[in-house]
Structure 1
Amino acid sequence: MNYAILRTVKLKTMGNIGGSLAHNYRKIETLNADPNRTPKNHHSVATPEAVKQAIQNRLPEKRRADAVLCIEYLITASPEWEGWGNDKEAEFFERASLWLSEKHGEENIAGMSIHRDISTPQLVAYVVPIDQRGNLNCKDFLGGRVKLSQMQTDFANAVTDLGLTRGKEGSKAKHTSIKAYYHDINHARDFRITAEPPRPELFESKASYGEKVISAVIEQIEPTVKAANSILMDYEKARVDKKVAEDSYDTLKKRVEPYLIATQGLNQEEIARVNEVIQLESLKIAVERDKIK
């Protein structure tokens, strides 16, 4: 049995969006992608910066601090499907694009990409969840489990004549989230992230806002935090070792730069808390490594 596959992930910060786009446009190392086939990928928008700008242009000025800014869709089919590499593949992605446009409105789609440099081709789309009243409303787009399930059924019905069917409804099979998938395949080595500070609430205390900033920074650097400590140590070693080549130092500096940007503007206590998280994660890695030995 060959299945139509549809997954979604909610992106709540511009940092999350930027990280996703960097992967989508292969601006970071993607271990499961064949660089020789990357030119075969197709993007409806030329650059990740243009997609990010389109998302920002669509966002309303007034929105909740924790609002979902964008929904990332991943649409594909079973690896064994006989349609890959022929006319059915083109038809599948054409229908997927049309389905998304009709479902959420073409004006809300900031960009779509088709990846053909991986073992099973896939479509990735960035949708800004703006409802008919002009508000960010992810719940209206995805709803709860029942609404998401119905959406998966609707999409499967749109491609059923291509030899695809919907997965079993109500199945308890666990699927890897897009965020976890990206994290795993890149081995937590993506250091090209930016930190987007949250907006303060009206009459919010300075202490409360400080806590929110710390949480936001930690959340946004989480995909790289497991590798940060070792790289920071290498960076410091390169800085003090006068025998290290200039290019090696510059390379390390570039890799650690996002960490420095992410903590810029924080006071010493706040930076210490971020570093504490990094050290704890590094300790966990060391413990696991010892177990393997």
Structure 2
Amino acid sequence: MNYAILRTAKLKTMGNIGGSLAHNYRTIETPNADPNLTLKNHHSVATPEAVKQAIKDRLPEKRRSDAVLCIEYLITASPEWDGWGNDKEAEFFKRAGQWLIDKHGEENIAGMSIHQDISTPHLVAYVVPIDQKGKLNCKDFLGGRAKLNQMQTDFADTVADLGLTRGKEGSKAKHTSIKEYYHDINHARDFSITTVSPKPEMFESKARYGEKVTAAVIEQIEPTVKAANSILTDYEKARVDKSIAEGSYDTLKKRAEPYLVAIDGLNQEEIARLNEVILLESRKIAVERDKSIKH
């Protein structure tokens, strides 16, 4: 099953907004983005400074000190969706933009961007949450679980005929925030392994010390290798049996997308080699652990 994905972030200061814009316009290092494809990104407003000014221009003079100044939307779909790279993709983003206009009013949308330099394209929008009374009122749009659920449903209905659906309504699964979403992607390749050897004890034999070093290394690298192996296993299961994803896209994304991002840009031979290394290292751990237990 392929899912329509919508995430939001509340930006309460101009510093928060500036940091988000720097990521959006790639003026800072963006680990999950391919710099060779960044020129393919599309921005409705040319510069981050212009977006920030558009936000300032819409803000009322009187507002609470802790008010949400801007809502950042991130809209995308499942990586496996068959619409990527064809006319469905263009229609998806067109409808997403119109959905935001209908919900907030075009005058309150400070800027929209479509990123094509990452493994799964997505739309980012900056919206000043002005309610029908002309007040800055984020709660009117994002306040409470019921409103968030209805928003997810409304958006999914907008793109349903493109072969997308929403996660299981009423699910207790926790939706990831935009910050968490990017953290997952940015750290998807973090399978580096570092180990610290224990110090030898006085009069300790070389054989005994060697066994201690082996045990220490196994203990230190095991979580990394097990995590990598788990990602590979879960992805293969999800690829074969899409029903595993039923109920919540978040669960599938957390398990499968880090692996998908990790292999992004690799050819089939390199992917096969990576899979072999992950599985081989996992087997080595099992063998070494068995040896340690027996000894």
Q: Which amino acid aligns with 1:83?
A: G
Summarize the Cα distance change of 1:15–1:186 in structure 2 as closer, same or farther, 3 Å threshold: farther
SS where residue 164 of structure 1 aligns?
coil
Secondary structure, in 3 states, of the residue corresponding to 1:112? strand
2:73 counterpart letter in structure 1: Y
Cα shift at 1:131: 1.3
Judge conservation of contact 1:38–1:117 (CA < 8 Å) in 2.
yes
State the AA in 1 paired with 2:57: N
CA positional deviation for 1:182: 3.9
What is the alpha-carbon distance in structure 2 between the residues aligned to residue 181 and residue 165 of structure 1?
19
SS across alignment from 1:68: coil
User: Mapping of 1:198-237 within 5 angstroms?
Assistant: none
Is this contact kept in 2: 1:30–1:185, CA < 8 A?
no
CA distance in 1, matches of 2:59, 2:65: 13
- The code of the aligned residue for 1:21 comes to L
Counterpart position of 2:151: 151
Can you list the C-alpha shifts for 1:204-240, whole angstroms capped at 9, x where unaligned? xxxxxxxxxxxxxxxxxxxxxxxxxxxxxxxxxxxxx
Q: Counterpart in 1 of 2:283?
A: none
SS in 2 for 1:166: coil
Match of 2:124?
Answer: 124
CA RMSD of aligned residues (A): 1.3
**In the alignment, which residue of structure 1 is the partner of 2:171?**
171
Shift in Å at residue 184 of structure 1? 5.9
**Secondary structure at the residue paired with 2:151?**
helix
Contact 1:44 1:111 in 2 (8 A): yes
Aligned residues: 187
The percent identity for this pair of structures is: 87
CA distance in 2, matches of 1:140, 1:177: 19
> Which structure: larger Rg?
2
* Corresponding residue number in structure 1 for 2:275: none
Q: Which residue of 2 aligns with 1:140?
A: 140
Distance 2:44 2:127 in 1: 13
Superposed CA offset, 1:72-107 (max 9, x none): 000000000000000000000000000100111001
1:220 aligns to what? none
State the match for 2:49 in structure 1: 49
1:145-199 per-position Cα deviation (integer Å, ceiling 9, x unaligned): 1011101101100100000011111222233311234456567xxxxxxxxxxxx
User: Which residue does 1:100 correspond to in 2?
Assistant: 100
Give the corresponding residue for 1:33: 33
TM-score, normalization by structure 1: 0.62
- Confirm or deny that 1:109 pairs with 2:104: no
Q: Hey, which bits of structure 1, 4+ residues long, moved more than 3 A?
A: 180-187
Q: Using structure 2 for the length normalisation, give the TM-score.
A: 0.61
Matched position secondary structure for 2:53: helix
What SS class does the counterpart of residue 173 from structure 1 fall into? Answer: coil
Corresponding residue SS for 1:146 = helix
Instruction: Determine the C-alpha separation between the residues in 2 that align with 1:71 and 1:180.
Output: 16
Secondary structure of the 2:75 match is strand
Structure 1 equivalent of residue 161 of structure 2: 161
Q: Following TM superposition, by how much is the alpha carbon of 1:113 offset from its aligned partner in structure 2, in angstroms?
A: 0.3
Q: Which amino acid aligns with 1:178?
A: I
Asked if structure 2 preserves the Cα contact closer than 8 Å seen for 1:12 and 1:66, the reply is yes
Q: Is the 8 A contact 2:7 2:176 kept in 1?
A: no
CA distance in 1, matches of 2:176, 2:162: 25
CA distance in 1, matches of 2:147, 2:177: 18
Instruction: Supply the AA of the counterpart residue of 2:32.
Output: N
User: What letter corresponds to residue 171 of structure 1 in structure 2?
Assistant: S
Amino acid at match of 1:170: G
The aligned counterpart of 2:242 is: none
Q: 1:120 to 1:184 in 2, by over 3 A?
A: closer
Q: Structure 1, residues 87-142: CA drift from partner, whole Å, max 9, x if none?
A: 00000000000010011100110000000100000000000001122210001122
Does residue 77 of structure 1 match 2:77?
A: yes
Distance (Å, rounded) in 1 between the aligned partners of 2:86 and 2:157: 21
**1:54-79 superposed Cα distances (whole Å, 9 cap, x missing partner):** 00000011100000000000000000
Q: Which amino acid aligns with 2:177?
A: S
